[in-house]
Structure 1
Amino acid sequence: MVGIEMTTWVLGDQLTRDVGPLSRADADERVLMIEAHAFARKLPYHPHKLVLVFSAMRQFRDELRADGHDVEYHQVETFGDGLDDHFDAHPDDSLVTMTPAGHGAADRLETLVTERGGEIEFVADERFLCSIERFDEWAGDDERFQHEGFYRMLRRETGYLIEDGEPVGGEWNYDEANREFPGDEYDPPDPPRFEPDDLTEEVAAWVDEEFAGGYDEPPYGGEWADPGAFVWPVTREGALDALTDFVEHRLPEFGPYQDAMLGEEWALNHALLSTSMNLGLLHPREVAERALDAYREDDLPLASVEGFLRQVIGWREFMRHVYRRAMPDLATANLLNADHTLPNFYWTGDTEMACLADVVGSVRERGYSHHIERLMVLSNFALLYGVRPDEINRWFHAAYVDAYHWVTTPNVVGMGVFGSDRLSTKPYAASANYIDDMSDYCGDCRYAKTKTVGENACPFNALYWDFLGRNEDPLRENHRMGLVYSHWDDKDSEERAAIRDRVDGIRELVEVDDL
């Protein structure tokens, strides 16, 4: 494009100079950033999510300017407004940016640009390890995808924990070793806290004024969250510090306790790096290789390092491509025809079920809970209750600081509530037994973990059996469901009727916000 201006457009979740077009731009090349606010009015996003995104963008802008870049930064309502301003100043400009991960986003941005007489080039999104071409070569024409095969392929391609073409230690994963529950004496390391600087404090005050109370559709409202202190890194430097903190203090015992849930420990040994990776502040390659360096140099447990690696280069990369291949149908998938509305306590935390109250409370306070709490408490209840997949997905997208549509949709719709069988071969349905095994919630709960029917019976139990009963036609022939259906077969008509009565009572309590 000789003679035509070229501007690098940095989108709000592509805050990196290490990969992508910005990594190849001249030091003084013009950069476009558009801080559009309209998206923040479409859903009742957790205020910490908005502070995180807007502060990180402004911090990145200032860092680029300090290094000599001509950064054109527009704080506007819509991308169209920002592009109007840009093309008024630079008619016929040509933009280049990495292809956004959200379905249809590239087409929408291209339309906005061309309507204003400009051009835009989308290049590969280098924030991931596995390219589109490599995934499609691996997957072929398959309509369903298996994570384990993908994970093994990517391990071989990267060479991570591979010796002579085989997995280090002789096993591809050590999941069985990563399901321990810590004893009463266990004292996990404190999670890092990143004190907000003046810019972040300014953003937080602006978010509170601009967006609090700005949602009309109940029960959302600006008051649904109950935010505590903002603790997330918003700069590349802070993200690197978070990575160091995890590798030094929490990675060694990440493996055995990664599925555990403790009421007094919201972080346990989890990495807390998803916000930084999803913004582009950290690359999965450097995250994985930092963990591998520690494994070699500090003799860390293989099960911990492999378990973490599986999340970073296995599951996260897999989610990105499943989303890409399964959209747009995945967003509206409802394989089990679930038709119930999301209970209000997902927003309020007002329930006497100890596990749900604690996890929702953590989300209300900081926009975060770890992956097992998301899957086996929040999604599990929605699955058993029969919440419409798009509703629970909408909630996750709004409630979590690390949520993006490409992240939540396959995780929630596909895995969490089995709205689609594109990536899971069976629903992750569980009764109170699982929660009791992996948490300390049940001991002080008003509901009895061992009871299925009766006023104080744990709702998970009756809902579990009712779920199996009402979904018998689509699930019984699933080869992974044979054992649980043999237990369902053991229940006589009287037991089944009592279960249905208990479920009817649970639904009545949910409807009046009294569960």
Structure 2
Amino acid sequence: MTAAWVLGDQLSRERGPLADDPDRVLFVEASDFARRRRYHPQKLTLVFAAMRNLADDLRADGVDVVYERADSFGDGLDAYFDAHPGDELVVQRPATHGAADRLRELVDARGGSLRVAENEQFLCSPAAFDEWVDDRDGDAYSHEAFYRWMRRETGYLTTDGDPEGGAWNYDDQNRETPPDDYESPALPDFEYGEHVPEVREWVAEEVDTWGDSEGFGWPVTREHAERALADFLENRLADFGPYEDAMFADDWHLDHSLLSAALNVGLLGPREVVEAAISEYRERDDVPLNSVEGFVRQIVGWREFVRHVYRREMPALADANQLGQSRDLPPLYWDSDATEMECVGSAIERVHDRGYTHHIERLMVLSNFALLYGASPQALNEWFYGGFVDAFHWVVTPNVVGMGSFGTAAFTTKPYAASANYVDRMSDFCAGCQYDPDSTTGANACPFNSLYWDFLTEHEDALRANHRMGLVYGHLDDKRDAGDLAAIRERADDVRSLAESEDL
């Protein structure tokens, strides 16, 4: 018999082996996975509860479900093949580098056979992406070029190959900050049944984690995920675009979809999500093009792009560190009380409480601080991988090592380094912060400012020739000529010392 082996990030009955209505399905809930690193307890609760719920749904439909709770995948396979010798297992190819080979080795060692099917949880196949790269002149990877190609291939928001509205993206309309009295729509509540509290209790008793387990509010069934999608489309899609880059002290989610975790474990598929958003845009007058295009770009463009960059650039990508940064992360990444910086402390607190912040807080606050501080890309990557409910190696590694840390030039052309000016422009954090975003030196100067100029000075040999960095190095020259650089770098050293001593 051929049995479908369902992994914890492939929880779909609409795609992959489960769509073929198999007679038998295998789940292996491996506790060693939970102990591999200090995961957020909500991440573990999400994955294991969603696995158990899907198994229940399959059993209710008469499917023979084998659910092995074991220390390891190997132990789970031992139990499975003892009871079902001779079965062939079929699994979607995992997105994580090397995982398919490791699973095959485990099955082969137990006398079984494993067929690895194409992963259907993405829109662009490996063959299609590789052909696109091979046909390109110049840079192998360009997200903008890939995004336009995907829009044409799918027909999403295009007419005869041209972009709807005349532009491929509307970033210039998506950089607004909400008014002071803005209140984003309330989020849906989910009824969880027995599995969420059971898994949460097990995690609390058996696993070393970081974060709050009690604020759990994530979809763990297909029905939950469909409700989450419908709620976003009805209540938040219209304002998603204008405020997608904004950060608000009193609102942790604004109008973001909060669908990344459901997408990344397979409860939703990218095609259904994108097509539902486009349908909503077509049917309503209050959903602007810039909102739906920004949402489509996140999924059809960026999510697909980083999956394939990861696939092609591993394993070197995970170890990349072209700037040679080597500091450990400061303690504030595990304790928001270790800093008085409103933006950083708030982002850390949001990760602790929910395993989530949106993409700008991830890139321009959490990653930016680590980059300017001099943290190694691998230290930051490990923190992100453990701390976020939607984190899987294929998506975290290119985003953190590439975008957040500029550890590789494979697909990033400049570091996303910024001073306090960016945070002040895109948020209301600075108004309530003890640090002055307009000052670079002195005890009350925002740490981002001195760290920013110190970073540019430290890596001047590597970055000055970058054609996208010419303007900022002109400003650095002005500070050097004015004799200000020594004091700025001294302040940066003080900032690092304060961060290390949990007194920033």
Deviation at 1:143, TM superposition (A): 7.1
- Which digits, 9 at most, give the CA deviation of each residue in 1:93-147, with x for residues without a partner? 2111100000000010000000111110101000100000000000128774110
Gaps of 5+ in 1: 215-221
Match of 2:196 in 1: 200
Q: Is the 8 A contact 1:333 1:419 kept in 2?
A: yes
- Which digits, 9 at most, give the CA deviation of each residue in 1:56-77, with x for residues without a partner? 0000000001011100000011
Q: Distance in 2 between matches of 1:264 and 1:184?
A: 10
Q: How large is the Cα RMSD of the aligned pairs?
A: 1.2
Find the partner of 1:351 among 339, 342, 348: 339
Q: Is the 8 A contact 2:13 2:19 kept in 1?
A: yes
Moved more, 406-415 or 202-211: 202-211
Match of 2:19 in 1: 23
Given the alignment of the two structures, is residue 381 of structure 1 paired with residue 377 of structure 2, yes or no? Answer: no
- Three-state SS of the structure 2 residue aligned to 1:310 is helix
Match of 2:424 in 1: 436
Q: Distance in 2 between matches of 1:508 and 1:455?
A: 13
- Which digits, 9 at most, give the CA deviation of each residue in 1:172-218, with x for residues without a partner? 0001110001111222112223243222122211221121xx3xxxx
Matches within 5 A, 1:276-425: 276-299=262-285, 300-349=287-336, 350-425=338-413
Find the partner of 2:164 among 158, 164, 168: 168
Q: Distance in 2 between matches of 1:511 and 1:308?
A: 38
Moved more, 126-135 or 198-207: 198-207
Q: Distance in 2 between matches of 1:136 and 1:167?
A: 24
Q: Distance in 1 between matches of 2:53 and 2:212?
A: 25
Residue type of the partner of 1:399? G
Match of 1:260 in 2: 246
Q: Distance in 1 between matches of 2:188 and 2:344?
A: 25
Q: Is the 8 A contact 2:200 2:213 kept in 1?
A: no
Gaps of 5+ in 2: none
Matches within 5 A, 1:428-507: 428-492=416-480, 494-507=483-496
Find the partner of 2:236 among 250, 266, 271: 250
- Which digits, 9 at most, give the CA deviation of each residue in 1:42-62, with x for residues without a partner? 211111111100000000000
Match of 2:218 in 1: 232
- Three-state SS of the structure 1 residue aligned to 2:35 is helix
Q: Distance in 1 between matches of 2:162 and 2:496?
A: 51
- Three-state SS of the structure 2 residue aligned to 1:83 is helix
Q: Is the 8 A contact 1:37 1:76 kept in 2?
A: yes
TM-score (norm 1): 0.95
Match of 1:188 in 2: 184
Deviation at 1:423, TM superposition (A): 1.6
Match of 1:98 in 2: 92
Given the alignment of the two structures, is residue 11 of structure 1 paired with residue 7 of structure 2, yes or no? Answer: yes
Moved more, 498-507 or 201-210: 201-210
- Relative to structure 1, the CA distance from residue 130 to residue 81 in structure 2 (aligned partners, 3 Å threshold; closer, same or farther) is same
**Matched residues, number:** 499
Q: Distance in 2 between matches of 1:167 and 1:33?
A: 43
Match of 1:53 in 2: 47
Q: Is the 8 A contact 1:191 1:267 kept in 2?
A: no
Q: Distance in 1 between matches of 2:227 and 2:410?
A: 37
Q: Is the 8 A contact 1:195 1:230 kept in 2?
A: no
Match of 1:219 in 2: none
Given the alignment of the two structures, is residue 146 of structure 1 paired with residue 138 of structure 2, yes or no? Answer: no
Moved more, 98-107 or 417-426: 417-426
Match of 2:175 in 1: 179
Find the partner of 2:38 among 44, 48, 61: 44
Q: Is the 8 A contact 1:227 1:364 kept in 2?
A: no
Q: Is the 8 A contact 2:240 2:256 kept in 1?
A: yes
Q: Is the 8 A contact 1:240 1:282 kept in 2?
A: yes
Q: Is the 8 A contact 1:144 1:421 kept in 2?
A: no
Residue type of the partner of 2:35? R
Q: Is the 8 A contact 2:41 2:212 kept in 1?
A: no
Match of 2:102 in 1: 108
Q: Is the 8 A contact 1:415 1:424 kept in 2?
A: yes
Q: Distance in 2 between matches of 1:329 and 1:164?
A: 39
- Three-state SS of the structure 1 residue aligned to 2:218 is coil
Q: Distance in 2 between matches of 1:174 and 1:327?
A: 32
- Relative to structure 1, the CA distance from residue 243 to residue 125 in structure 2 (aligned partners, 3 Å threshold; closer, same or farther) is same
Q: Distance in 2 between matches of 1:514 and 1:187?
A: 33
Match of 1:218 in 2: none
- Three-state SS of the structure 1 residue aligned to 2:251 is coil
Percent of matched pairs sharing the same residue = 58
Q: Is the 8 A contact 2:37 2:386 kept in 1?
A: yes
Q: Distance in 2 between matches of 1:485 and 1:492?
A: 10
